[in-house]
Structure 1
Amino acid sequence: MTVALMWEARAVPGRGDDLLAWARAQRLPAEPLRREILRAPQDRVLVITWWDAAYDAAVPELPEPAADLVTRPVHRWRFESVAAD
């Protein structure tokens, strides 16, 4: 089974590049099958990691960035893969 973890944060206005650099520099204690980093307007950064694991397995997640870098707590979602084209 494949589980995908989504991590999304919104930077303090004007600090989107700093948040993106922070997310790119984070190392996890294990390597996911895949890791993708995306950006969006309003200085938002999204990181998706894919793991060969059960839905409720304990897998590494990115931490919270420093409070002075983000406008709110990180949003996190977990999904189970059901199909891929």
Structure 2
Amino acid sequence: MTIALMWEARALPGRGPDLLAWARAQPLVPEPARRETLTAPEDRVLVITWWHAAPDTELPELPEPGPDLIGRAVHRWRFETVE
């Protein structure tokens, strides 16, 4: 089964490039099968990781950035493939 984890954060005004650099530098151990980083207006950063794992597997996620980077708590979602 494939699990997709989505991590989304909104940077403080003007800190979008810093949040993007921070997110890209965060290691995940073990590494996911795939990792994609996206940006959106209002200094938002989205990281999606794909894992080949059972539905109840605990998987590594990006941590919460420091309060000097984000304007609100990180949003996280977990999705499973539909067979």
Q: Distance in 1 between matches of 2:58 and 2:45?
A: 23
Q: Distance in 2 between matches of 1:56 and 1:46?
A: 23
Q: Is the 8 A contact 1:55 1:79 kept in 2?
A: no
Corresponding letter in the other structure for 2:38: L
1:22 aligns with 2:22: yes
Extract structure 1 runs of 4+ deviating beyond 6 A: none
- Give the aligned partner of residue 67 of structure 1: 67
- Give the aligned partner of residue 2 of structure 1: 2
Measured after TM superposition, the shift of residue 57 of structure 1 is: 1.1
**Equivalent residue pairs, number:** 83
Q: Distance in 1 between matches of 2:42 and 2:65?
A: 17
RMSD (CA atoms): 0.9
Structure 1 gap segments, 5+ residues each: none
SS at match of 1:18: helix
Q: Distance in 2 between matches of 1:11 and 1:18?
A: 8
- State TM-score, norm by structure 2: 0.96
